[in-house]
Amino acid sequence: MEPNHAPSFVYKRIVVIGVTGFGKSVLAEKLAQKLDLNFIELDALNWKPGWVDSDLEEFRQKVEADMHAPAWA
């Protein structure tokens, strides 16, 4: 009789969505750690020191660069 093993988690890119203050970043970071994925935090990509927004093109370039990783949350 073979042992009953759960199938491995096959997803390599996970998007967590929700309203402000809901804990999306916390959940995504925990998933990334548990599943050995890169953690992408959009707030960290957007905000510059002093809470200055990145311009839209700069933000898009940062997001696109991080999304090219093979596995992320």
Nearest to 46 by CA among 26, 65, 62: 62
> Can you give the three-state secondary structure of the chain, one letter per residue?
CCCCCCCCCCCCECCCCCCCCCCHHHHHHHHHHHHCCECCCHHHHHEECCCEECCHHHHHHHHHHHHCCCCEC
Q: What is the pLDDT of residues 33-63, one digit of tens each?
A: 999 999 999 999 999 999 999 999 999 999 9
Sorted by where each begins, the domain ranges of the chain are 24-67
Is 0.85 surpassed by the pTM of this model?
Answer: no
Neighbours of 54 (CB within 10 A): 15
